[in-house]
Every structure is written in C-alpha cells, then in structure tokens.
Amino acid sequence: MAWSTNGTRMPFRMHSEYLRRLYLANQLAEVRYRVDGYPAALSDSELSIFVVGTRKD
C-alpha cells in the first residue's frame, strides 16, 4: 500500500489493531485497552473536548 494513497495516514497493522481493539472489542470503554503495558481508563483522562453535531455534512 502506498503511503500517499492511504486515507488513514497510518500503517496497515496499526490501523487494523485500532479498529479491532477500540471499535470491535470496545476495550477502551471497558478499561482493557493497554498503553505501554498499563490499562487506559477514560475516567482518568482530563481533556477538553469540542464536539459538533450536524444533520448533513
């Protein structure tokens, strides 16, 4: 796969793991997603969020 034609702009393996672990297995929401060997919990994050909802793109 050519890097310039990859719409995700990340390597195939990384993209596949993100999709499987974060979306299909929902590991982040269930505190089973590990970063550097440690579980990542959304409740431990203190981040500002900007959200926009629309009816059409």
pLDDT, one tens digit per residue, over 28-52 is: 888 999 989 999 888 888 888 888 8
Mean residue pLDDT across the chain:
83
Specify if 56 maps to a domain.
no
pLDDT tens sequence across 3-21 = 556 566 778 888 888 889 9
Predicted pLDDT at 4: 56
Specify if 33 maps to a domain.
yes
Cβ-based neighbours of 1, under 8 Å, separated by 6 or more? 12
**In total, how many domains does the chain have?**
1
Predicted pLDDT at 8: 67
Predicted pLDDT at 26: 92
Specify if 50 maps to a domain.
no
